[in-house]
Amino acid sequence: MNLQLSDKVILITGGAKGIGEGITNAFAEEGAIACILGRNPKEAAAIMEKQTARGNRVESYAIEMTDDSTIREAVSRIALKHGHIDAVINNAGGNDAIGLRHGPEDFRRSLEKNIVSCFSLIHHALDHLIASRGVIINIGSKCSVTGQGGTSGYAASKGAMNALTREWALDLAPHGIRVNCVLPAEVITPLYERWLAQAPDPAVAREQLNRTIPLERRTTTVEEIADTVVFLTSPKSSHTTGQLIFVDGGYVHLDRACTQPTSHLKAS
């Protein structure tokens, strides 16, 4: 399927590792110009080298997402170089485990990192997105609707992201801008792999995790998240906006009874 993304300029925050790296690679392979916004140029350089060898285009812009001035400067540089910005993927952030035992200042810093930065980027890119009738994709989290425990800052940020997805979709509909949110649950990234490796028995921990996923008893892949993001950005998804789209193998919405080792439904 031709997703009609050739030469589209896509800004991807945190696009050099984990889910962000998968999203960057997916856009580059569709012929888009994938612009990584992040704090680690070395990680971005490895992706650029790989994709350039394939004839694809990836660019890197070193910014600190909690520094509004660096966001503004990066947006200006990209717009000046290419003449247009077609989509923004708000992916940067992290589960920093800022819970109720932390102080209000820690909570504020978590919000700055995980949601205020998203607002700042859209604010500075807004005129360019209006000009291109562009797309915004937010990368959310299951904890915005399920809770997780011990992570008030991250959960609050992702809950706000759900709300802003619908607020922005309404605000920007007159300009033809679509806004959607993709919500992963359990995705095996390198960071997740390191976390599993710390378990007393990593194999058992992985099997227990897989059992919580109703569909195929496995975690979601980075590529499955990336493919959904790319499709939602493309004109093939031209009338979808304001949606919270769970790519999680049924983790969030299907009855917990189906996560038990055996099912009441047997194949005949």
Edge-first strand order for the sheet with 57-62 is: 57-62, 33-38, 9-13, 87-90, 135-139, 178-184, 244-247
Question: How long, in residues, is the chain?
Answer: 268
For the record, the structure tokens of 116 come out as: 């205020």
- CA 89-116-141 angle, to 5 degrees, is 55
Question: Among residues 61, 154, 192, 251, which one is catalytic?
Answer: 154
Query: d(Cα 99, Cα 223) in Å, to the nearest integer?
Result: 31
What residues does 35 pair with on adjacent strands? 11, 59
Pair 89, 137: CB distance under 8 Å? yes
In tens, the pLDDT along 83-104 reads: 999 999 999 999 999 999 999 9
Of 25-34, 53-62, 194-203, 216-225, where does mean pLDDT reach its minimum?
Answer: 194-203
Region 170-192: mean pLDDT is: 94
What residues does 181 pair with on adjacent strands? 138, 244
pLDDT at 262: 54
Pair 156, 97: CB distance under 8 Å? no
In tens, the pLDDT along 107-121 reads: 999 999 999 999 999
Pair 122, 168: CB distance under 8 Å? yes
Pair 12, 20: CB distance under 8 Å? yes
251 is catalytic: no
pLDDT at 189: 87
Percent of the chain with pLDDT strictly greater than 90: 86
Pair 91, 19: CB distance under 8 Å? yes
**pLDDT at residue 10 tops 90:** yes
Give one DSSP letter per residue of 1-19, joined into a string. Answer: ---S-TT-EEEEETTTSHH
Q: Which residue intervals of the chain are DSSP H helices?
A: 18-29, 41-53, 68-82, 104-111, 117-132, 143-146, 152-172, 190-197, 202-211, 222-233
In tens, the pLDDT along 208-235 reads: 999 999 999 999 999 999 999 999 999 9
State whether residue 178 is helix, strand or coil.
strand
pLDDT at 56: 98
Pair 19, 139: CB distance under 8 Å? yes
**pLDDT at residue 266 tops 80:** no
Region 122-148: mean pLDDT is: 97
Closest CA to 187 of 212, 170, 168: 212
Q: Is the domain defined by 9-185+221-247 classed in CATH 3.40.50.720?
A: yes
What residues does 38 pair with on adjacent strands? 62
Model confidence at 193, pLDDT cuts 50, 70, 90, reads confident
Domain extent listing, the chain = 9-185+221-247, 187-219
